[in-house]
Amino acid sequence: MPRKMISLVIVAIATASCLALVGLGESGAPPAAADEVTLPPPVTSGGMSLAEAIGKRRSVRRFAPTPLTQVEVSQLCWAAQGITEPDQGLRASPSAMATYPVDVFMIDATGLYQYDPGKHALRRLAEGDMLARLRSAVGQAPVRSAPACMLLALDYERSRGRCGDRAERYGLLEAGHIAQNVLLAATAMGLAGCPVGGMDEHNCIKVLGLPEKLVAAYLLPIGHPEKGQ
């Protein structure tokens, strides 16, 4: 095979593998930039009723290895922090004084991605098996089993100015709102998750190579429940 063609094949394989989290190649549009994938629009009506999702939600700790699709990732990110009122940029989860100190990250065997609510896009921050790295810092069963994990991380610099001494309490409350939205959205799609708070909130950030000012509030391992769960 000519050298030029070999390098094209290598680039194609690399691109396909690092975008596997968001299912690009199955149904998606091309990425807006090399390291950014615009997610499909979220589904904002129909589906399982809220009452049914509340009734069905359960913390699940054993998952099938099936990766999440682009559509599923889109819906989970939107439920977490999607823009629901574009004029003022208000989001799916409430935030004290609309300071939005929680950043949303997705981690899987292909990389680490940050959700950009304004663009409804995922920006790739790191390639490779970042889930394995996370698992080295968090030995919890659901994190070991799930094919993907959402991280909710607090940046208190964003909220301290307006929220003062209440920034930490407000931030954790806000992470709780977001987590519940995500868990209910997962349930409504036939997925499941488990809210994990039992981890070292600084070490998680460190192993993922994220800025040290961030504090991990919650991990939300998510996937298809293993049969029989």
Ligand X SMILES: Cc1cc2nc3c(=O)[nH]c(=O)nc-3n(C[C@H](O)[C@H](O)[C@H](O)COP(=O)(O)O)c2cc1C
Strands 102-108 and 36-38: unpaired
Question: Kind and range of the H or E element at 175?
Answer: helix 167-188
Shortest gap between Cβ of 190 and ligand X (angstroms)? 16
Q: Which lies closer to ligand X via its Cβ, residue 142 or residue 223?
A: 142
Give the Cα separation of 73 and 68 in Å (integer): 6
Looking at the Cβ atoms of 67 and 142, the one nearer to ligand X is 142
Edge-to-edge strands, sheet with 111-116: 36-38, 121-127, 111-116, 102-108, 148-154, 215-223, 192-193
| Interacting span for ligand X (CB under 6 A) from 26-34, 39-47, 127-135, 194-202 | 194-202
By C-beta, is 116 or 168 nearer to ligand X? 168
Q: Which of residues 39-58 bind ligand X (CB under 6 A)?
A: 58
Nearer to ligand X, 52 or 127 (CB): 52
What is the distance between the alpha carbons of residues 113 and 105, in angstroms, rounded to a whole number?
A: 5
Tokens of 206: 């460190």
> Amino acid identity of 153?
A
Using CB under 6 A as the binding rule, whether residue 197 contacts ligand X is answered as: yes
Minimum Å gap between C-beta 54 and ligand X is: 11
Instruction: State the nearest-atom distance from the C-beta of 36 to ligand X, in Å.
Output: 32
Considering only residues 102-161, where is the footprint of ligand X by CB under 6 A? 140, 142
Which of residues 197 and 225 has its CB atom nearest to ligand X in the complex? 197
* Distance separating alpha carbons of residues 50 and 180, to the nearest angstrom: 12
Phi, psi of 158 (to 5 degrees): -75, -30
Binds ligand X by CB under 6 A, chosen from 31, 61, 120, 174? 61
Question: Residue 53: what are its φ and ψ, rounded to 5°?
Answer: -65, -40
Contact between 195 and ligand X per CB under 6 A: yes
Pairwise CA distance, residues 115 & 77, whole Å: 7
Contact 220, 79 (CB under 8 A): no
Binding window for ligand X (CB under 6 A); candidates: 100-108, 146-154, 161-169, 188-196: 188-196
Stretch that binds ligand X, among 86-94, 102-110, 148-156, 196-204 (CB under 6 A): 196-204
Closest CB to ligand X among 29 and 50?
50
25, 198, 209, 211: which one binds ligand X (CB under 6 A): 198
DSSP 84-116: EETTTTEESS--GGG---EEEEEEETTEEEEEE
> Where do contacts with ligand X occur on this chain (CB under 6 A)?
58-59, 61, 140, 142, 194-198
